[in-house]
Chain A
């Protein structure tokens, strides 16, 4: 008898934790402190393999905005977020930055070419010049690799900006196909009057 009651009592909290993304947002909302204000354009939802959502929000002129993201740990590694305006210009993104990896590939190609030239070079002066250029590229590669790694593993999940005019932003959230569980993502929008618009 006791076992049955224990089972019923134990299962309730698990059920509610597993299903409610609204509560997920509620917890995040409670962390907003003055002068920031909650913005009703905030939204939370369930995400699973292959799902992508576009949230269109309006940011009013003369206000500072902070968009924060909270992701269930079970799907954290599978979620990509991007904030862009309606012309497609990206202001914030998570995950691997394609432009950075492309730049890294280009530098690596240049490095290979210089190393080849160095192997064929005969004069000591030319070898020294190439050596210096190679060292410069190696240092650039290390910095870029660090930046890429930082962006990937030390991601900040919030984005702050000032709206100089009333603008529409598109927040894209997607879960990759390798995502093997279901979880919540909440997009919390907060705003405050921009100090520049006062006085």
Chain B
């Protein structure tokens, strides 16, 4: 009996030391780190990317009109884990789009796709069965649907961050951002520089910069390195956008609140916009092709 207890204790100690290593990694990413003599990370820089729903919300407030045909059909099947990770990001962006525009039934369908992909990728703990049941019970409540679906996606991201799975996180981010840009470009319709959606797309340059920095940390992976090249091409297009900032009058008027930034007009010329749109469509086709 004593032997069994010590055996059990030995095993748990081993498991604990493994989990300690993981927990240790549950700090800010370490790839940019300067390590001191005692192997402790002393300095690090982390680049974060907002979730797709944050950008989709901006599209809705730009008076965009809903178009059901632009999302990736939910009957697509992907078997390769690498593809599944990219598509998880794509479906998460589609789910955010449908939920933001109050398309409840469709949101639930896309949520089940996100859940099924996360199950296949071993992220089952991020979305449990109760969450799905809760969603079905709240099918007509816009706020609840958006809360449940958004939080489920946040749980997946948290799970990946806590387990230091930067590779999966990068692929999901790529899929989510490309799909968000695809949705925006499709909703923008005919080019007009003053079109609020064109302006919103132009405002995403800092997000693209952060994605590039995130991908650089994982560029040793060939699949990530291919996307890094494509994203750097997109950046060279976005670098052509010029910004004209209005005086920060808002900050003066709102005394009780701190206001950061100022209303900005982006000069995104037609040629550059069309090239950007073409690049996004090429990338999206690459990501979503089944073979």
Contacts and interface: CB of A to CB of B under 8 A. Distances in A.
B28 A160 contact: no
B14 interface: no
Given A40-B49, A61-B261, A164-B250, 5 more contacts: A43-B28, A162-B259, A163-B260, A166-B261, A198-B61
Contacts of B209: 168
B96 to A, nearest CB: 12
Interface of A: 1, 4-5, 8, 15, 19-22, 25, 34, 37-41, 43-46, 48, 50-63, 85, 91, 159-169, 191, 193, 196-198
A21 B50 contact: no
Contact of A160 (B44, B58, B210, B257): B257
Given A22-B162, A164-B250, A166-B203, A15 B54 contact: no
A102 B162 CA distance: 42
Contact of B58 (A1, A44, A60): A60
Contacts of A19: 19-20, 23-24
6 contacts: A21-B23, A43-B46, A161-B260, A166-B203, A167-B260, A168-B210
Contacts, number: 164
B40 interface: yes
Given A46-B24, A197-B61, A54 B206 contact: no
B26 A40 contact: no
A55 B162 CA distance: 16
A58 B50 contact: yes
A81 B150 CA distance: 29
A56 B206 CA distance: 10
A6 to B, nearest CB: 12
Interface string B10-26: 00100010011001101
Given A39-B50, A58-B48, A63-B54, A21 B261 contact: no
A28 to B, nearest CB: 12
A59 B50 CA distance: 8
Contact of A162 (B1, B57, B254): B254
A45 to B, nearest CB: 3
Contact of B57 (A1, A15, A165, A193): A193
